[in-house]
Chain A
């Protein structure tokens, strides 16, 4: 079956760095996405990785290792507004998105 695993909840301190991991087992792979979702709102696109390596975009970076079925989202210089759920999703062989359950990130002052 297809499976995406990510931690349910993480807590970090304002100004610090946090890494949210995602492991996946899917039928085929056409890229991995990270989305941010604030409570009561729809997800917003953060990053897309299809090749191994690190993609940096401002305070956010996303890493992919296809051989390990593993990705992480790195958030630097955390701000209170970064408190949200972070969803990992993999595009499978049919270009269907398989979603993780999301990681709720709590930022403390």
Chain B
């Protein structure tokens, strides 16, 4: 149980284009999903918290107009990197928190999306 998928797993795009990344909880419902970014040899950096049916909460320093997050259902959240630039190249990972998890707010991670902007 508690499987989270991400698509695509790897994407290469030209500078200035937009890229959409999907995160799905496959066998549970997730009212809250999280988007992280991880640069090589560094720890996870939380970008935003996505709540189903409401606007995402962005961390300080993360541009909400550049990283558009939509959480339209209990099993799907999307992150769109708009007008991508080479400095946006990174490993983007989503996680989902199981609604039925009770007191244990364990986050389960998707496999990640490696974005390379040329």
Contact = CB atoms under 8 A, between A and B. Distances in A.
A96 B42 CA distance: 19
Q: Is chain B's interface secondary structure helix, strand, loop, or mixed overall?
A: loop
Interface string B27-49: 00000001000000011101001
A101 B106 contact: no
B104 A50 contact: yes
Q: Which of under 10, 10 to 19, 20 to 34, or 35 or more describes the interface residues of B?
A: 20 to 34
Contacts of B43: 87, 99-102
Contact of B105 (A41, A42, A43, A95): A95
Interface in B14-35: 34
A41 B111 contact: yes
Given A50-B104, A91-B105, A43 B111 contact: no
A88 to B, nearest CB: 10
A97 interface: yes
A42 B106 contact: no
Interface of B: 2, 34, 42-44, 46, 49, 91, 93, 103-112, 114
B105 A30 contact: yes
A33 B114 CA distance: 25
Contact of A87 (B44, B105, B114): B44
Contact of A50 (B93, B103, B108): B103
A96 B93 CA distance: 16
A48 B106 CA distance: 8
Contacts of B111: 41-42
